[in-house]
Amino acid sequence: MGRLNTTLCGIGLDNPVIPASGTFGYGYEFAEWYDINILGTFSFKGTTKDPRFGNPTPRIAECTAGMINAVGLQNPGVEAVIREELPKLKKVFHKPVMANVSGFSVADYAYTCEKLDKEDTVGWLEVNVSCPNVHGGGMSFGTDPKAAAQVTKAVRKVTKKPVIVKLSPNVTDIVAVAKACEAAGADGISLVNTLLGMRIDVKTRKPVIANTMGGFSGPAIFPVALRMVYQVANAVKIPVVGMGGVSSAEDVLEMLLAGAVAVEVGCANLIDPLACKTIIEELPAVMDRYDIETVSEIIGGVRHG
């Protein structure tokens, strides 16, 4: 094994860096910038059973140390993803990809996951029960342990590939939700999705995005995300994928020390399309600086006292 290698739910990764869903399209868009096969893997754009136009515009706005978005899961629907997007991806990416799935009912999640589970391009199913930007689905499942478990159980019944449940930070007890998903058959947990946030334009006196509230992401949320990753990694026996405000090689190492086996990078990709490439290239030198020989040796290695 190389010094950057890690394993996620039994599947080896060349390195722990994974572009997060919603920030990397279906991959081939970024292949115009660099060889995306240097990535550990990536999580493609959130996919639902039926096509979605998404929320009204404006739906993205910059704010201090981050951004607010309420895209609303715009996507062509699972049938079109399988028919059109995955063949294009396969031409430029030669590793298993993480399929991110959202839904508005338990049946929606099960249907979409069952379809994607059959695709040889897909290595993992990242089941998003945490999107704060849609009504009647998404985060409503992720804030209730019983509802999150219900989705997990339904997906597990119709799939063979690893199921990783993506959790919301907009809860009082993240551990309770994670443990409920683990008990229902999840193979891994990824966290955190965006925090629910809002900004107002003082000049117009209107919210800066049409949806009023949206997902707040970026460096400002990193300490909250790190805390939750640490809590969950110490409470469950399944692998944890950490994310939330990650923008540097040092951030990746912090997430690993907190207990993550891999790390997703989100908002940074929207600021700099080469963000993940840069992080991967800088990791060995940063590891040398801290006398770290391999990624695997520091997972969960935070010290106390």
Q: Note the pLDDT of residue 265.
A: 98
What does the pLDDT average to over 209-229?
96
Sheet holding 262-265, edge to edge: 17-19, 262-265, 240-243, 188-191, 163-166, 122-128, 97-101
Give tens-digit pLDDT for 38-55: 999 999 999 999 999 888
What does the pLDDT average to over 108-120?
97
Q: Note the pLDDT of residue 131.
A: 57
Helix axes 275-289, 249-258, angle to 10 degrees: 70
The CATH code belonging to domain 6-298 is 3.20.20.70
Residue 143 — pLDDT band, cuts 50, 70, 90?
confident
Q: Which positions are annotated as active-site residues? A: 131
Q: Note the pLDDT of residue 305.
A: 67
Residue whose C-alpha is closest to residue 189's, from 267, 243, 153, 121:
243
Question: Rounded CA gap, 130 and 211, in Å?
Answer: 17
Question: Rounded CA gap, 129 and 152, in Å?
Answer: 9
Q: Note the pLDDT of residue 1.
A: 64
What does the pLDDT average to over 284-292?
98
What does the pLDDT average to over 123-138?
70
In the predicted structure, residue 134 carries a pLDDT above the cut 70:
no
Q: Note the pLDDT of residue 136.
A: 47
